[in-house]
């Protein structure tokens, strides 16, 4: 999964928690993805389904459109019913370009305005205006961003562009317009990202983006995608970064160009690569180190420019839902959580990439497992120690493609080798992750380290594992009990680089191998969180020189600690989904922690009477879309569920769901 760090631009070594805001990786989409359109150096544009199939040409009609020019840019309106497109006349040096609007089908075209080299149109969020690039005089290279109403009135140049050239305008849902700008006399060797807020008279610098000729806001406005062509060969490529500032994520190191386009559901991007024979339009997931998937090839090298993704129908329910997710036993509850989280393989947009299996009779090996499941885009299952439960088999086959990796937690005393054999017989690759007494200590603490190495990647050096990269964040929680570690796992899964890990203290102390692992970290570079009083004490004793460099998330009890984690900032400024599980036992919180980590939300703990007043205050944050309550009414009562939902959405302002399958979320 891909996530990013909104850290106010700096690593706050001693300033407390740092905010993680999440991409949409496995979050349920709010919209379906409609058609894709892209230019082809013709009188119209190409259009296809989201996977590139069904390619056909759309040629505008009406309004005197004669097809003598070449369409250079096309973009769907915010509601998907219209297109704006620009036309150039390359064989007529003194004829200006043109900006047109038509129905999405190409019908009812009408010309808005003309101007030299007019291109790259972008709609305002309400569909009332169009922003675009235009040369300030014919045959001059200087380009500015202008705006015009969709009825052709109100043509104006945005302020702050004197002696500057602009590139790649993009509009956020808030109405903010961002673009890259190079100015005469600037000391910067690369373009600078600037932002304009309608109604203001000056531009402001965007620190979230490094020098680029192409930028694009995500559908929710929280992210900016951009192409870095100025940081040197090892740092070039496609990136996403939080719009509020923070650590960027390299999506691809490939040499991409042209415009960037987000899918309406925020899970992927369109990006161009070029060759001597033409351009290739690629789809790429909005996550770290994602592969480019070609969906269209162009034979004209001039065609690799702009593309657009049509918004489909809204998938969001009219009212928020409080979901109860539970089964007859802990194994079935974990399966139900998977069914809630993922579509069947090859169908829908919520696809599992992996799965994690742990023993169903004790929590020891699984304490760090929900972070592994969430960061690897998969569910966490439980089974007996000697054979794989048939319900788990059926769900693995339903959600995973052939050859996918299934992680089995713990040594062969915890889960026998028969489990590996049964998983392999289903067509999956087995990865045993355990404290084996060799590379790792033969206990839960060694298993946690083995899980951490699976998350960060590792190589064997001198007979021992050495992480390929240091974790970007580490959450230390006691391994003597389950509540703190399971709350920590959902938080670790929000790490921007998908390298958030959970390490375990032995109560108030660190065992030697855990201390050795942490000693290799630099707390000025790795964000260290201590979850719960015991872990906070353990880290403070082992590393007194780390004082002020870690973030303690410790309450007077497990409920307050869960509250501290939920409000620490690692989940960002807005919670889309919040999980609730009983504090009295571990299985529901284990599988629920993996689920809610995928949905970028925290895990709160309930007693027999429901959430504490502190925890209920989390639910009063604006913008929460839904609740996921794990387990049946005997563990989290209907009264507790209703009290939480009434707090979040108002009395009677919500619907109740029971074991829904991959539901659309508000």
Q: Is the pLDDT of residue 549 over 70?
A: yes
Measured CA to CA in angstroms, residue 6 lies from 222, 242, 262, 268, 578 at distances of 10, 6, 20, 20, 20
Residues in the chain: 666
Give the distance, in angstroms, between the CA of residue 232 and the centroid of all CA atoms in the same chain: 26
Residues forming a β-bridge with 130: 123, 148
Task: Note the pLDDT tens digit of each residue in 588-625.
Answer: 999 999 999 988 899 999 998 999 999 999 999 988 98
Q: How confident is the model at residue 233 (pLDDT cuts 50, 70, 90)?
A: low
Mean pLDDT value of segment 522-550: 97
pLDDT above 50 for 12:
no
Given a cut of 50, is residue 5 above it in pLDDT? no
Res 261: pLDDT? 93
User: 129-138, 355-364, 628-637 — which is least confidently predicted?
Assistant: 129-138
Task: Report the pLDDT value the prediction gives residue 224, as an integer from 0 to 100.
Answer: 93
pLDDT at position 212: 78
How confident is the model at residue 300, as a pLDDT?
A: 64
- Distance between CA atoms of 168 and 261, rounded to whole angstroms? 11
CB atoms closer than 10 angstroms to residue 420:
18
User: Is the pLDDT reported for residue 82 higher than 90?
Assistant: yes
Task: Give the mean model confidence (pLDDT) for residues 372-393.
Answer: 95
* Mean pLDDT (whole number) for 478-487: 95
Q: What is the pLDDT of residues 329-374, one digit of tens each?
A: 999 999 999 999 988 887 766 778 899 999 999 998 899 999 999 9
Comparing 20-29, 212-221, 327-336, 455-464, the range with the smallest average pLDDT is 20-29
Query: 4 by DSSP, 3-state: which?
Result: strand
Provide the edge-to-edge strand list for the sheet that holds 70-76. 70-76, 82-88, 97-103, 110-115
- 280 pLDDT above the threshold of 80: yes
Predicted confidence at residue 34, as pLDDT, reads 84
pLDDT-based confidence at 449, cuts 50/70/90? very high
Residue 6: predicted pLDDT: 31
Tell me phi and psi for residue 65, to 5 degrees: -70, 120
Tens of pLDDT along 175-226? 999 999 988 887 777 888 999 999 888 898 888 887 778 899 999 888 999 9
Count of alpha carbons within 13 Å of 314, Cβ hemisphere only? 8
State the CB neighbour count (10 A cutoff) for residue 98.
Answer: 20
pLDDT at 377: 86
Kindly state the average pLDDT of the residues 274-284. Answer: 78
In CATH terms, the fold of domain 31-314 is: Neuraminidase (2.120.10)
Asked whether the predicted pLDDT for residue 312 surpasses 50, the reply is yes
CA–CA gap between residue 129 and residue 205 (Å, rounded): 23
Q: Is the pLDDT of residue 551 over 70?
A: yes
Which positions ≥6 away from 389 have C-beta within 8 Å?
Answer: 331, 360, 381, 382, 383
* Domain locations along the chain: 3-26+317-658, 31-314
pLDDT above 70: residue 512: yes
Angstrom distance (rounded) from CA 195 to CA 182: 14
Contact 4, 19 (CB under 8 A): no
pLDDT tens-digit map of 406-422: 999 999 999 999 999 99
pTM: 0.69
**What's the pLDDT score for residue 313?**
60
């Amino acid at each position: 999964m891909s996530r990013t760090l909104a850290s106010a631009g700096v690593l706050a070594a001693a300033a407390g928690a740092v905010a993680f805001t999440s991409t949409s990786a496995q979050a349920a989409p709010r919209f379906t993805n409609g058609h894709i359109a892209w230019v082809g150096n013709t009188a119209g544009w190409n259009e296809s389904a989201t996977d590139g199939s069904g390619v056909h040409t759309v040629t505008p009609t009406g309004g005197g459109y004669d097809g003598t020019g070449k369409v250079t840019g096309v973009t769907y309106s915010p509601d998907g019913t219209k297109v704006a497109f620009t036309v150039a006349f390359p064989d007529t040096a003194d004829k200006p370009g043109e900006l047109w609007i038509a129905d999405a089908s190409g019908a009812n075209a009408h010309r808005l305005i003309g101007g030299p080299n007019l291109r790259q149109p972008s709609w305002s969020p309400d569909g009332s205006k169009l922003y675009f690039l235009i040369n300030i005089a014919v045959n001059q290279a200087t380009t500015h961003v202008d705006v015009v109403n969709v009825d052709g009135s109100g043509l104006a140049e945005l302020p702050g562009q004197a002696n500057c050239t602009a590139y790649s305008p993009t509009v956020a849902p808030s109405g903010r317009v961002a673009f890259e700008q190079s100015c005469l006399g600037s000391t910067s060797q690369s373009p600078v990202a600037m932002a304009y807020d309608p109604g203001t008279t000056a531009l402001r610098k965007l620190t979230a983006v490094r020098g680029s000729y192409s930028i694009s806001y995500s559908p929710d406005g929280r992210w900016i995608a951009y192409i870095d062509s100025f940081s040197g060969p090892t740092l070039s490529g496609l990136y996403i970064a939080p719009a509020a500032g923070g650590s960027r994520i390299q999506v691809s190191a490939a040499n991409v160009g042209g415009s960037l386009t987000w899918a309406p559901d925020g899970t992927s991007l369109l990006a161009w690569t070029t060759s001597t024979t033409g351009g290739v339009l690629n789809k790429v997931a909005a996550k770290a180190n994602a592969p480019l998937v070609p969906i269209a090839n162009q034979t004209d090298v001039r065609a690799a420019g702009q593309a657009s993704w049509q918004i489909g129908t809204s998938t969001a329910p009219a009212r928020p839902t409080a979901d109860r997710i539970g089964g007859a036993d802990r194994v079935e509850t974990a399966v139900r959580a998977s069914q809630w989280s993922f579509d069947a393989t090859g169908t829908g947009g919520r696809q599992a990439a992996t799965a994690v299996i742990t023993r169903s009779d004790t929590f020891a090996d699984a304490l760090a497992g929900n972070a592994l499941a969430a960061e690897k885009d998969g569910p966490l299952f439980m089974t007996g120690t000697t054979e794989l439960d048939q319900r788990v088999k059926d769900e693995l086959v339903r959600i995973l493609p052939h050859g996918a990796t299934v992680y089995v937690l713990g040594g062969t005393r915890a889960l026998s080798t028969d489990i590996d054999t049964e998983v392999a017989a289903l067509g999956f690759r087995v990865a045993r992750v355990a404290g084996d007494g060799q590379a790792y200590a033969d206990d839960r603490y060694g298993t946690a380290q083995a899980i951490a190495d699976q998350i960060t990647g590792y190589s064997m050096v001198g007979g021992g594992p050495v992480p390929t990269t240091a974790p970007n964040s580490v959450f230390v929680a006691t391994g003597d009990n389950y509540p703190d570690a399971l709350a920590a796992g959902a938080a670790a899964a929000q790490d921007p680089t998908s390298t958030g890990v959970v390490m375990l203290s032995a109560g108030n102390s660190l065992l030697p191998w855990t201390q050795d692992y942490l000693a290799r970290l630099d707390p000025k570079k790795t964000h260290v969180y201590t979850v719960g009083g015991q872990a906070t004490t353990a880290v403070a004793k082992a590393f007194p020189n780390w004082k002020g460099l870690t973030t303690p998330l410790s309450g007077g009890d497990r409920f307050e600690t869960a509250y501290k984690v939920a409000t620490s900032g690692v989940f960002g400024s807005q919670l889309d989904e919040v999980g609730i599980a009983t504090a009295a036992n571990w299985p529901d919180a284990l599988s629920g922690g993996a689920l809610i980590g995928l949905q970028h939300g925290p895990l709160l703990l309930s007693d027999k009477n429901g959430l504490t007043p502190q925890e209920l205050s989390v639910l009063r944050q604006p913008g929460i879309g839904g609740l996921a309550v794990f387990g049946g009414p005997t563990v989290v009562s209907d009264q507790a569920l209703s009290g939480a939902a009434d707090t979040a959405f108002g009395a009677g302002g919500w619907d109740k769901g029971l074991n829904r399958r991959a539901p659309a979320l508000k």
